[in-house]
Amino acid sequence: MLFKKKQIQDCVIIGSGPAGYSAAIYAARANMSPILFTGFQPGGQLTTTTDVDNYLGFPEGVNGNDLMNNCRKQAERFNTKIINQSVNRVILSNKKGGIHKIFFENKECIESRGLIIATGSHPKFLGINKEKKFMGLGVSFCATCDGFFHKEKDVAVIGGGDSALEEVNFLAKICRKVYLIVRKNYFKASKILQNRISKKKNINILFYSNVTEIIGNDFLEGIKIFNQKNETNRTILVSGLFIAIGHIPNTDIFKNELDLNEKGYIIVQKGKTITSKPGVFAAGDVQDPDYQQAITSAGTGCMAALDLEKYYLSI
């Protein structure tokens, strides 16, 4: 084992995406000797992205796996202890300066006065064949991340809420045609977003519609759509399919320990990473339903480590 079981740690980090590794680097440089649990998906969602073109410092872009491997190496350079296991339970103290218990595989427990949660979120899937197979090969959950690869091409977006219309608005600026596929006959999105897309001539809205099949052998080539109202099928050729039906924060183990909002995201103080329990901080997508970008996650990881350092000065 990489730590002494009876020793109380200064900093435990749950999650190994940009937020977790950023927090580890800053915590290590502050002499907090962080221990980081990678979780079930080491490297987070970026490991499912082939090319990352919008992360600062990579003018030619970078492979998602390569980026996260470099983040891990950088954290290890500052002597972060990385454990390739998942945390399955926590018992959090209500007292300032109290000790938090973190349980992981094999029912082992580690204790720490400081905890940074960076467990991220995962996208909602449609549940159809080839959906996961073609992630990064035409299927995407982020237009800001992957829209550039479909410049001057035809794409489709699935969803009717704010996230979907924001994706459509972004893609309409760079793509030849954008199909917006909506299951119901109305939008859940705000009126301002509806008005915005109504002014774009290259957006084709398909109400009462579901995607029933993804077409392609090695990458996405098109989709089949079923119209519930007319009970008709049609096939459209697109190079990109953007699924925007929501994300689910990875907060199951914190439901009875921390304050969460109605969607399950960890509630933090405005402009901070401070949660409802003293000594516990949250960074990245697990507390951010709005931006969910690698660079903002890394920023809040830094903030969480700095907030933890300030916390120790106050006890």
| 233-261 pLDDT tens trace | 999 999 999 999 988 999 999 999 999 99
In this prediction, residue 6 carries a pLDDT of: 64
Residue 3's pLDDT is what? 55
Is 302 annotated in the active site? no
Pairing assessment for the beta strands 81-83 and 154-158 based on DSSP bridges: unpaired
pLDDT score, position 291: 87
By the 8 A CB rule, do 242 and 167 touch? yes
296/120 Cα distance (integer angstroms): 12
142 is catalytic: yes
Q: What's the pLDDT score for residue 301? A: 98
Residues contacting residue 233 through CB under 8 Å, at least 6 positions apart: 212, 224, 225, 226, 227
- Give the model's confidence band at 159: pLDDT under 50 very low, under 70 low, under 90 confident, else very high: very high
Report the distance separating Cα 67 and Cα 197, nearest Å. 34
One-letter amino acid identity for 165?
L
The H or E element containing residue 160 is none
Q: Which of 145, 175, 288, 307 is catalytic?
A: 145
Question: By C-alpha distance, which of 208, 210, 150 is closest to 184?
Answer: 208
pLDDT above 80 (res 279): yes
Catalytic residue among 142, 154, 288, 307: 142
> Among residues 10, 146, 288, 307, which one is catalytic?
146
- Residue 205 bridge partners (DSSP): 180
Q: How far is CA 139 from CA 7, 53, 149, 160, 222, in A?
A: 46, 16, 12, 18, 10
pLDDT at 50 over 80: no
Give the whole-angstrom CA distance, residue 277 versus residue 300. Answer: 18
Rounded to an integer, the average pLDDT of 69-91 is 97
pTM for this model (two decimals): 0.80
Q: What percentage of residues in the chain have a pLDDT greater than 90?
A: 83
Q: Is residue 1 pLDDT above 60, yes or no?
A: no
Cα separation, 27 vs 21, whole angstroms: 10
Q: Which residues pair with 274 in a beta bridge?
A: 281
Whether residue 29 has pLDDT greater than 80:
yes
175 in catalytic set: no
The string of pLDDT tens digits covering residues 181-200 is 999 999 988 899 899 999 99
